[in-house]
Structure 1
């Protein structure tokens, strides 16, 4: 076997080392437009919301993508568009690795990271994804970002705040990042019998395991009655009642 070819095969494809985080597309955020003249289909929404803590216990702070948006607007930065991060699935089907369109707007506002995506006209794969979005068969965006500098991350105990991040691509996806979240109702609360049950319920709300444990520890500490040391108790304190 040609050793040079073997080395090249090991090196390709040069996949970026990024992390992917998903955000559900809500009906109140999604806008779907089709140009009757050109046939171009556009969709808009939010890839990140400032008030949201994702499944991984991360919260992006407004300004986290300011540099990315500025570079994108200036034409110095490209943010690619895929379906379900298809670039990682090249080995399954080359069709999945196709880019489905291009982002024409990327900016931060008071709600989150706003975007507008134009699906590639005439591209079969892009039109299939557009049809699924229009029918609400798929309902999410997912940001693929490079690992942030530790200086740009702050641990808040129950979650971490990310103050700056660089984006590689944003995908239209099937499932949101908080897909493990559950509706909290009376049945769920009544089913709690042990601390493990409570921890599992907290984890289902989107807190990763270690943060669920920390929150449980804090709640347990808050529930314990505060008692003064015996030596500090007033033996005649009962007269005050």
Structure 2
């Protein structure tokens, strides 16, 4: 046995710095296909609609994902598939952090970003989500994209138009509107080894960017030990005798 082998066991994964946006999708019967022989389920729907403004005041313009789609078609870009952005829920359940399938198609058309997802066969977690989609229990898509550069956005006053964005993953979702409404396990808190780990945890709960950094900085101030002032030297009760020359 090689005694020099070392296993890296980091308490927290490196989470991507991405933003998540949900779009309710009503999947019709024609959008859901199950292979009668293999039982594999495929669904087709729009992860983004060009004519919609999300609750963050953002509107994606056709062409925003052109580069992503081209790279995906060329096989040089992967867009992962999760349930409820499960990669952020690693501290609750390992199953939730597993990918549920793979995207077969990713393309822009006149309506929006069209995607086709195939659920992983013979995988319990994937088949559970597939069953909920087929039943209509779950009816949404949500994209996780890297923050666009200022050059790729334009403020229209009533909303912001995003002209180019890079995708990390697209989830099948039924999650609440408030991404920060999460339950934090005791293990996730005990696993924090540094302030940077704490920042990653806060970001995974929806608190992004400088707000997470500021909160950690403020908490660090509270945790600093308070300095105890040095005691004043005791006064000599007979000091007046020295000054009187007695």
- Normalised by the length of structure 2, the TM-score is 0.67
SS in 2 for 1:9: coil
1:81–1:102 CA contact under 8 A, matched in 2: yes
The residue number in structure 2 matching 1:110 is 110
* Contiguous gaps of at least 5 residues in structure 1: 179-241
Alpha-carbon spacing, 1:150–1:22, altered in 2? closer, same or farther (3 Å): same
What value does the CA root-mean-square deviation take over the aligned residues? Answer: 2.3
**Displacement after TM superposition at 1:27 (Å):** 4.0
Would you say how many aligned residue pairs link Structure 1 and Structure 2?
174
Q: Which deviations, in whole Å up to 9, do the C-alpha atoms of 1:85-141 show, x marking residues without a partner?
A: 000000100000000000000000000000000000000000000111111111100
C-alpha separation in 1, matches of 2:176 and 2:90: 22
**Displacement after TM superposition at 1:177 (Å):** 6.4
Map of 1:153-168 to 2, 5 A cutoff? 153-168=153-168
2:27–2:45 CA contact under 8 A, matched in 1: no
**Displacement after TM superposition at 1:42 (Å):** 0.2
2:79–2:168 CA contact under 8 A, matched in 1: yes
Q: Which deviations, in whole Å up to 9, do the C-alpha atoms of 1:22-76 show, x marking residues without a partner?
A: 1111245971000011211100100000000001000000000000000000000
The residue number in structure 1 matching 2:145 is 145
Alpha-carbon spacing, 1:153–1:30, altered in 2? closer, same or farther (3 Å): farther
C-alpha separation in 1, matches of 2:109 and 2:21: 19
C-alpha separation in 1, matches of 2:177 and 2:102: 22
2:27–2:139 CA contact under 8 A, matched in 1: no
Is 1:19 matched up with 2:1? no
The residue number in structure 2 matching 1:225 is none
Is 1:128 matched up with 2:106? no
Alpha-carbon spacing, 1:30–1:9, altered in 2? closer, same or farther (3 Å): farther
**Displacement after TM superposition at 1:9 (Å):** 2.6
The residue number in structure 2 matching 1:100 is 100
C-alpha separation in 1, matches of 2:99 and 2:141: 14
1:142–1:172 CA contact under 8 A, matched in 2: yes
The residue number in structure 1 matching 2:188 is none
The residue number in structure 2 matching 1:9 is 10
Map of 1:200-219 to 2, 5 A cutoff? none
C-alpha separation in 1, matches of 2:139 and 2:176: 7
C-alpha separation in 2, matches of 1:29 and 1:55: 28
SS in 2 for 1:22: strand
- Normalised by the length of structure 1, the TM-score is 0.68
